[in-house]
Amino acid sequence: MARDADTGEGQRMKGAEGSTALVTGASYGIGADIARALAARGHHLVLVARSAEPLDRLAATLEAAHGIRARPLPADLTTTAGLERAAAAARDADILVNNAGAGLGMSFERTTWAEERRMLDLNVVAPSRLLHAALPGMLRRGHGRILNVSSVAATGPVWQGTSYGASKAYGVALTESLAYSRRIRTSPVALTALVLGHTTSEFHERAGIPPSPPSLTLASPYVAELAVRAIHRRRPPVVCVPSLRYKLVAGLLRHLPHRLLALPHLADDFTVTSYGADRPCSGQPASVGGDGEDGILPAEAHGQGQCQS
């Protein structure tokens, strides 16, 4: 990633007294690491995930380490009540990080509609709702940053036979649609889509996922720091792909003939390969970043023959 220019609005946000960032999927993994990077820059935090206990621990740790305020907000974003609680908090946020998401380790025709609906609620509905809640206030106040965490699967059919890539592509498309609009381009508000490859984190350890080749693996704290640095630029990138290797992968997926991805080991074909058990362990998708108590499928990992997304 190019060296960021922390000037102008980026510098103001970076050291702003009282600025608040809301992070979803924040209890561990990439979400927790993004929260740590934001706290280190002096931002107060609203930490959103389903489970209260890990949020409480993280909030206490960050308050003690950085002298900021960290508010745990337990909420299931697949429920109307939970999503609206998070949306109410997002209205006052100076930074919104849409990190929570999900993936299913089975092909589309083998999942239940309830499972598909839950994944779409997390990957499509929840980030849209929180963005819709946060954006008007940011525009009115004259500052704001929105980070939508996506996946390299959004750039091509590397998760064949599933709706996962399509759901993550929505976040990139929405980010681009808003970011390039005249209203946003002429305002101090900026949107960025973070396109992740395989990012190792505590989430993967909890899910019992074997490591991918080092050449395809990025450390979660490293990715979180790059992402937070990117949104603090005076002009943040609309799409942020952390690392040259995944910039190359994303570029190839966009432009290679998709029939080449049918070759062995170039993509995961979920209509052929069954990951884990015949059914997902809990009957539900596991959430990306910090919201994955169901714990089978962190949605930002990629690798042939592994229970990953």
DSSP letter (8 states) at residue 76: -
Angle at 218 between CA 37 and CA 288, to 5 degrees: 70
Cβ atoms of residues 274 and 106 within 8 Å: yes
**Beta-strand relationship, 102-103 and 286-287:** antiparallel
Cα dihedral 298, 301, 307, 309, rounded to 10, equals 80
**Hey, what are 293's tokens?**
């108590």
Tokens of 95: 């930074």
Can you list the positions of beta strands (E) in 99-246?
102-103, 144-151, 159-160, 189-196, 198-200, 217-219, 239-240
Q: Which residues are known catalytic residues?
A: 164
Tokens for 31, please give them.
Answer: 């979400």
Spatial CB neighbours of 154, under 8 Å, sequence gap ≥ 6: 165, 168, 169, 171, 172, 195
Half-sphere exposure of residue 209: CA atoms within 13 angstroms, side-chain side: 32
Say how far apart CA 190 and CA 176 lie, in whole Å: 10
